[in-house]
């Protein structure tokens, strides 16, 4: 099982290709638009402040965090954390990334059903893969189909989390573009094209996550149910 050529061909190689393409897309988009000043000259931190000030979202906390592209919204504490580059630089990429996080804030404040479902599935994403794979391995090794099936269901919960996350992220990007347009922060075609390019590249990472998770789930399902037929 650990050296199964089917795993290499059906999961590992496609995952490396898909993930590599997604990472390259994000890196290229951020490198390009992270070096182009937005027309309003606002940093990511200022973008978030302006969107809260104009009523696009209700005010939440803003913090600067370490790392690159570590930006996220913490709904449990009501805080948007922006990476230092995004928070401090007045680039098109910074404006787009900050607005995307405010898109998540808007989702939370408007009780988005998809975001609510995603929150419910967080435990599955945290514990499903590790416990699920362990049970699948034990079930296959000891010919315990029931145990392997339980593991498969746990892993499927994590896959469902990645599937639900994709429309949540796409919706946050849609909201981000709408807020930037309505607030007048997007003033040129360059601003618009750059913001869309950054958000589109970021979305590709979630498409890659869905694809790789589904491939892995299908492989384990083939392993479990193929073994049962044998």
Parallel, antiparallel or unpaired: strands 79-83 and 72-74: antiparallel
Order the strands of the 79-83 sheet from edge to edge: 61-65, 79-83, 72-74
Distance CA 181, CA 178 (A): 5
Helices 92-109 and 13-33 meet at what angle, rounded to 10?
Answer: 110
Catalytic residue among 63, 101, 181, 189: 101
What is the Cβ-side half-sphere exposure of residue 54, based on CA atoms within 13 angstroms? Answer: 14
End-to-end Cα, the chain, rounded Å: 15
Instruction: Judge whether 101 counts as a catalytic residue.
Output: yes
Tokens encoding 105? 């804030």
Catalytic residues: 101
């Amino acid at each position: 099982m650990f050296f199964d050529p089917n795993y290499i061909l059906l999961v590992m190689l496609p995952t490396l290709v898909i993930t590599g393409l997604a990472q390259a897309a994000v890196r290229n988009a951020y490198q390009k638009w992270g070096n182009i000043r937005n027309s309003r000259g606002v940093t990511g931190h200022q973008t978030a402040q302006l969107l809260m000030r104009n009523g696009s979202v209700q005010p939440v906390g803003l913090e600067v965090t370490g790392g690159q592209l570590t930006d996220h919204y913490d709904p449990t504490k009501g805080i948007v954390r922006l990476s230092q580059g995004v928070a401090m630089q007045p680039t098109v990429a910074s404006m787009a990334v900050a607005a995307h996080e405010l898109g998540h804030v808007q989702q939370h404040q408007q009780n988005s059903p998809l975001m609510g479902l995603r929150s419910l599935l967080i435990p599955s994403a945290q514990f499903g893969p590790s416990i699920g794979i362990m049970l699948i391995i034990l079930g296959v090794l000891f010919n315990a189909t029931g145990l392997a099936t339980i593991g498969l269901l746990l892993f499927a919960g994590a896959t469902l989390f990645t599937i639900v996350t994709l429309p949540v992220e796409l919706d946050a990007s849609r909201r981000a573009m709408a807020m930037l347009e309505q607030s007048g922060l997007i003033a040129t075609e360059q601003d618009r094209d750059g913001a869309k390019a950054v958000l589109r590249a970021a979305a590709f990472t979630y498409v890659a996550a869905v694809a790789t998770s589904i491939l892995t789930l299908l492989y384990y399902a083939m392993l479990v149910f193929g073994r049962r037929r044998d």
